[in-house]
Amino acid sequence: MKLGYLSSFAVLATVVSCGASADENFLGHVKGAEVLPKGASDLYMKVNWRSDKGQGNYDAVDIFAEYEYGVSDRFQFGVGVKGRSVDTEGLLIDGYLPKEGNFGPKLAGLEVTGKYMFLSPALDDFGLASYVTLDYDWMDPHSGQDKNTLSLELELIGQKYFLEGQLIWMGNLSVEGTYSDRGALEGLPADFEWPTDPEMELEITAGTGVSYRFAPNWFIGAEIEYQTEFETEVGQERYSWFAGPSLHYGGQSMWATLTWLPQISGGGEMYEGQLDTGLHLIEKTKNEVIFKIGFNF
C-alpha cells in the first residue's frame, strides 16, 4: 500500500508550520466544544488505520486533511479532503467485500464542516457546541469499490473542565444521514450480490471521554463510543462499542494525538462463517489506530 503522496503532504505541513492551537483534539473520536478564535486557522490531518475482520487480512487507511478557520469567536468553518486505501485478502463477504485486492490509495471524498460554540467551557463552566458535517465520498470505505455517498451529520458536543483545566470531560451525540449509490461491479463471485439501487442509511453515535494532563504539554485520555446504523432494507444493521486510550501532545504551534480504539463489543449482521460473534465485523474492524496532527496559524 503506497501512501507516499499523503506522507509527503504531512511532511510539508510539518515543515511549513510555525504559528499558533484551538480546535485541538484530545481524543481519537470524541471532540471538544471549543472553537478557533476569530481570524485564527489550523491545518489538521487524521490517519485512521482500520484492521482485522477476524478472517483473512484486512487493512484500510483513511486519511483526512482539513483546513479550519475561525470566522468569529464562536464559529469556525472547515474544508477537508479524504484519501483512502483498502487492502483485503482471504475474506469475501456477500454484498460488502466482493473482491480481494489492493484498492487505492486514492482521493476518496470531500468534506465541509461548521462548528458553533453556544457555551464556552472555560467561561460558562459547561461548554456546548454543535458540529455540522457535509460529506461527499466516492470510494466505499469497506470494500474500496466505487460508491457515491452524500452524508449530513449533526453533532452535539459537551465539554467540562475540572481541576482548573487539568482534567477535561467531553461528550458527543450525533446523527448522520447518508444517501449512497454503488457503482456496478463486474466479475463478482457466484451467488454474490452487489446492489446498485440507491439506499439510505442512518447512523447514530454517542461517545464520551476524559483527558488528563499528567505533565506539561502531555495528556493521557480514554474514550468510549457507541455506534449504530439503520438501513432501508434491514432496520438496525449493526452496532458496536469502541473503547481505548489516547496519548496527546499539545504545544504552542502544533498538537498530536495517538489513539488505539478496539471494538470491544458489537452485533447486528454477521458474515457467513464469522467466528467472533460478539463483534460487528462487516463494516467495522477489530482495531482502529488513529493518529491526528494539527498545526496552528
Partner 1 sequence: MNRNLGLLFAMPLLGITQSVYAKDYLSVAEAQAVLFPTADTFLENVLTLTKDQKKAIKRLSGVRQRWDEQKVWRAEAGGQFLGWFMVDEVVGKHEFITYAAAISPEGHVLGVEVMSYRETHGYQVMEAGWRAHFVGKGVGDAFKLNDDVPNISGATLSCRNMTDGVHRLLALAEVMLKP
Query: End-to-end CA distance of the chain, in Å?
Result: 32
Alpha-carbon distance of 217 to 227, in angstroms, equals 31
Residue pair 281/53 in contact by the 8 Å Cβ criterion: yes
> Is the CB of 18 or the CB of 175 nearer to partner 1?
18
Report the 10 Å Cβ neighbour count for 297.
18
Alpha-carbon distance of 36 to 130, in angstroms, equals 14
Residues that bind partner 1 (CB under 8 A): 1-4, 6-7, 10-11, 14, 17-18, 20-22, 24, 36-38, 40, 47, 49, 59, 61, 70, 73, 85, 87, 120, 122-123, 161, 163-166, 213, 216-217, 249-254, 256, 258, 291, 293, 295-296
We find the least distance from the C-beta atom of residue 123 to partner 1, in angstroms, to be 5
We find the least distance from the C-beta atom of residue 203 to partner 1, in angstroms, to be 27
We find the least distance from the C-beta atom of residue 118 to partner 1, in angstroms, to be 14
> Is the CB of 194 or the CB of 260 nearer to partner 1?
260
> Is the CB of 202 or the CB of 258 nearer to partner 1?
258
We find the least distance from the C-beta atom of residue 89 to partner 1, in angstroms, to be 13
We find the least distance from the C-beta atom of residue 103 to partner 1, in angstroms, to be 13
> Is the CB of 8 or the CB of 196 nearer to partner 1?
8
Alpha-carbon distance of 72 to 106, in angstroms, equals 34
User: Please, is 184 exposed, middle or buried when counting C-beta atoms within 10 Å of its C-beta (0-12, 13-18, 19+)?
Assistant: exposed
We find the least distance from the C-beta atom of residue 51 to partner 1, in angstroms, to be 10
> Is the CB of 170 or the CB of 293 nearer to partner 1?
293
Residues 6+ apart with CB under 8 A from 265: 240, 241, 278, 279
> Is the CB of 131 or the CB of 219 nearer to partner 1?
219
Read off the C-alpha cell for 139: 470510494
In Å, how far are 70, 74, 160, 178, 185 from 122, measured between CA atoms?
A: 18, 13, 8, 35, 52
* Helix, strand or coil, per DSSP, at residue 94: coil
